[in-house]
A and B are shown apart, each in its own frame.
Chain A
Amino acid sequence: MRVEQIAVFLENKSGRLAEITATLATAGINIRALSVADTSDFGILRLIVDDVEQAKQVLKDGGFTVGITNVIAVEVDDRSGGLASVLKTIDHAEINVEYMYAFVNNSGENAVLIFRFDDMDRAIAALQGDRFSLLSGEQICSL
């Protein structure tokens, strides 16, 4: 149960984020979730979009460095302790979080947590073992 995420290299200069989002908008691609990791020298933009293949193609054509990574999307109730319960499972299984970000879906009832772990297979097993709801790419896009 993995979700494909687009990652784009961002050089540290003004206007790059705007160019990427404009490129995606022109192609009619919808961004479901995103995060930016930044250092003093460069940034990495991570996106969950409704059409991964097309997004990758248009960004590559636009001259960006693009990679596709697998992440895990966990749906939790949008209430206090939602994230904590997921991390408790991960901690017990001695798995490390490489990065994460989150968004709340339209209905406002559920939150979706996007994770990259150092051991994705064991993370999936652990989360499923504790009966967490993992979403597929299609499910995220239809939220």
Chain B
Amino acid sequence: MDTLFWEEEMETLPRAGLESIQLRRLRHLVARVYKTVAPYREKMDAAGVKPEDIQSLSDLAKLPFTVKEDLRENYPFGLFTVPMEEVVRVHASSGTTGKPTVVGYTKKDLETWSGLMARALTCAGVTPKDMIHNSYGYGLFTGGLGAHYGAERLGATVIPVSGGNTKRQITIMQDFCSSVLLATPSYALNLADTMADLGVDPAHLSLRVGVFGAEPWSENMREEVEQKLNIKAVDIYGLSEVMGPGVAMECLQTSRGMHIFEDHFLPEIIDPDTGEVLPPGSVGELVFTTLTKEAFPIIRYRTKDISRLIYETCECGRTLVRMEKVTGRTDDMLIIRGVNVFPSQIEHVLMGTEGVEPHYQLVVNREGNLDTMAVDVEVSEQLFSDEVRQLENLTRKIQTDIKDLLGVTCKVRLVEPRSIQRSEGKAQRVIDNRKI
């Protein structure tokens, strides 16, 4: 199979050449961030490191990490490095305690992003002749718009169908001859099952490739979705703090690992407990430094995603390092139907509800292809009423508050006191029964 490239030179650079570009960009970035963003400067000063100390790529390890908490503390725009008049777009993702984390883009950032997204789609064999069915949600979430502009940049035709209204999506797929599906893998399976219900045979559709991301999925899911939709399924990686979709992308030639676009994002693998950089090939927490972003660059951002870097050159000819499929998280973040959910957010809602005790448990299941979340709440004496209506109002209120804060529908179940297992030390807040 011939490899398609979007920017062949950058994608096939020898490592020495790539590293010299990375170092130049890194030094420029650190100097600029130190000068313009007080929280970065303060952290670097506290760590006793100056921009001049970055003489080689390994000096990156001298710089302090950035964590989601830093974004929250500087909510909303405190870590932006340019005046707001230069920011042309913001996106946001859910935060751990109610406040979202906000990221911003300059005109040039959007150009970079759409270029990288076009590069990612090309990696998946997408060409200007394709009809791209973009089922990622449009809005504050980076998925929809990020993929959209990349597809346009590539010159393909985009159907900005967004999420939901599955039957209509299938009609559009049939009538518009969609050839590429961009979606979360669970939504792709939902589409496949709805097609089966409607008697639509995927073999009669024009679909040939699916670019799936925004939630963890396994090799089993890949096989299932490939077989059910009669397509080739490839994995895309991204997170809003680093940019959005298009940070790393699997190529068609091998289904092992996603090429990280290293000329723009510098990856590290660290020990999540000690923060030590681990030797090449180790499994650990993935950390990213952006090399080219203007409005919201980020230094050593701890993704909390567990992965491993593969340095062998890929069959496709790209020299860019690959990251293995994310195999887990260092925190307790759950992804429910593509939405990031932290148990602490649920706790925040419960604590704000009068009479609710801090004993709760989240039970996550996958019914069909849809994730469901139940929140078990212990009924305290204070909360208890002998009237059914009062208790039902209470569960409804909690459900509404969670939906308002997280955008996720859940089922609140009242349970008897002390029926939620108390564990030694850290409470087991989450029971995840999904077999992903």
Contact = CB atoms under 8 A, between A and B. Distances in A.
B415 interface: yes
Interface stretch (A23-31, A34-42, A78-86, A135-143): A34-42
B384 interface: yes
A116 B415 contact: no
A64 B417 CA distance: 7
B168 interface: no
Contacts, number: 54
Interface in A1-32: 5, 7, 9-11, 16
A9 B379 contact: yes
Interface string B106-122: 00000000000000000
Contacts of A46: 386
B392 A66 contact: no
Interface of B is mostly: loop
B380 interface: yes
* Interface bin, chain A: 20 to 34
B416 A69 contact: no
B23 to A, nearest CB: 60
Contacts of A10: 416
A65 B418 CA distance: 10
A11 B385 contact: no
B75 to A, nearest CB: 37
Contact of B416 (A7, A41, A65, A98): A65
Contacts of B384: 7, 9, 65-67
B387 A66 contact: no
Given A9-B379, A66-B381, A67-B381, A41 B414 contact: yes
Given A44-B388, A99-B388, 17 more contacts: A9-B384, A10-B416, A11-B415, A11-B416, A11-B419, A37-B388, A39-B388, A39-B392, A41-B395, A41-B413, A42-B413, A44-B386, A63-B417, A65-B380, A65-B384, A66-B381, A67-B386
